Structure 1
Amino acid sequence: MSPTPQERRAARHRLGTGESAPVARRGPSGGRKAPITVDSIVATAFGIVEREGYEALTMRRVATALETGPSSLYAHVVNKEDLDELLIGRLCSSIELPEPDPADWRRQIIGVCTALRDQYLRYPGISRAAFAAAPSNLDTLRVAEGMLAILLAGGVDPQTAAWAVDSLSLYVNAYSLEVSLANRRSGREDGGWVVGRDELLRRFAALPADYPQTRRYAAELTSGTVDDRFEFAVGLMVDGLPGARPPA
């Protein structure tokens, strides 16, 4: 008896693989079609997210793109949550983790967060798949392990380091999702929902006297690029960790 999707999922967690044997298929005209595998499902899912955004990703949509029925997918993945886990794991698998350096730990942890952010931003809205998901995929766990090792090398106590990994990951997820949503809105015909800095400054200047600080510091409130703000927020979180070694 062939293994169930649940058994294959468990195998992926144990070995970092679990790819099931491909099943040969024939198209309507009798020609051979590419077999359905976990890799083909994941690649197709990434293509859908890249073109249409994460909101468009469903098991039925993937099945349609593969010219098959949803039941064929369930022979390889358990459900949509399992597919989400595979997608996030695949993105994490390409992140290079440095050897933890006590003298350079701050730059290292910011670098890992930045690399994770950049992976998420390749696929609009995909960081949503990482919310409320237990890090059980080995590739995802590898990144969490690397972040934890860097923080520990920086002198952060284990409990603080453990929670910091969770907090930093949550911020990266949320930041990436916000940028994806803003980019999607700005590309729509009603893109006026996303205004530029000049327009925002004009609106702040026109505020009534009840908002004196916003009017006075409008330039500061609207300054910097999204990358500037990302590095500021991550740096603020890192620098606030008790017991951490100061930058060299």
Structure 2
Amino acid sequence: MRARFTTDEIAAAALRIVDDSGVSALSMRSLAASLGTGPMTLYNYVAGKEGLEELVVAAIVTDVRLPEPTDDWQQDAYAIASAMWQGIRAHPAAIPLVLTRRMASSTGFAAAEALIGALSRAGLEDRDRLAAFHALLGLVTGAAQADLAGPMVAARIGSVAGADHPHVEALSAVAVETSVEEDFDRGLRMLLDGVAARCPTRGRR
């Protein structure tokens, strides 16, 4: 009798492989072995490795714990973006997939839906809402990617920059002394303040 799995079970198993051994270790064969079945069985659920990678991204995003919406759109957007960032950085080996793979289904759309919903409550014009969503998403993924480098890279950049690039050297020194949490928090609040500045005010058309 053919073994049967749910898509969530396959996605969770694929994510465990990436967490434990990296993206290069993920294959139909390795996933089948972890599930105790044959590779051909998996083709009933996913077309190939690209599909597996999309499932990994969906598994990460789906696991993000989203806050309940409030009357404060800015605080909501802050909480949602923070939750997305924490969810992504919890799986550092999978970050390259988050940056390069788009989900083929709506399984992992809850976080995006919540963030867009918060921005919608800000009363932004359509194009401003789109730009704000992309900016926030870019900050989340970019900060997660930068988190992989850490302070050692910042220190190395500062030493290489030297006197020829004093601004780079000076900012690298600040980066070494600043935690990734503080840096993300500050950047997110600055970005949301900028978004808020474009919100319509009473009496404005």
TM range (shorter): 0.7 to 0.9
What amino acid is the match of 1:145? Answer: E
**Identity %, equivalent residues:** 24
| Counterpart pick for 2:137 among 159, 163, 169 | 169
Q: Once the two structures are superposed, what CA deviation does each residue of 1:46-72 show, in whole Å capped at 9, x if it has no partner? A: 211221233422223212323433222
The alpha-carbon deviation at position 93 of structure 1 amounts to 2.9
Label 1:76 to 1:107 Cα distance change in 2 as closer, same or farther (>3 A): same
- Give 1:196-207 correspondences, 5 Å limit: 200=155, 204=158
- Give 1:1-248 correspondences, 5 Å limit: 23-24=2-3, 35-94=4-63, 95-101=65-71, 104-134=72-102, 136-179=104-147, 181-182=148-149, 195=152, 200=155, 204=158, 208-214=162-168, 219-241=173-195, 242-244=197-199
Could you tell me which runs of 5 or more consecutive residues in structure 2 were left unpaired when the two chains were aligned: none
What amino acid is the match of 1:99? Answer: P
Label 1:43 to 1:93 Cα distance change in 2 as closer, same or farther (>3 A): closer
Which structure has the larger Rg? 1
TM-score (norm 2): 0.77
Equivalent pairs, count:
199
What amino acid is the match of 1:235? Answer: R
> Which deviates the most, 157-166 or 111-120?
157-166
Aligned-CA RMSD value: 3.2
Label 1:163 to 1:215 Cα distance change in 2 as closer, same or farther (>3 A): closer
- Decide which structure has greater helix share: 2
Could you tell me which runs of 5 or more consecutive residues in structure 1 were left unpaired when the two chains were aligned: 1-21, 25-34, 184-193
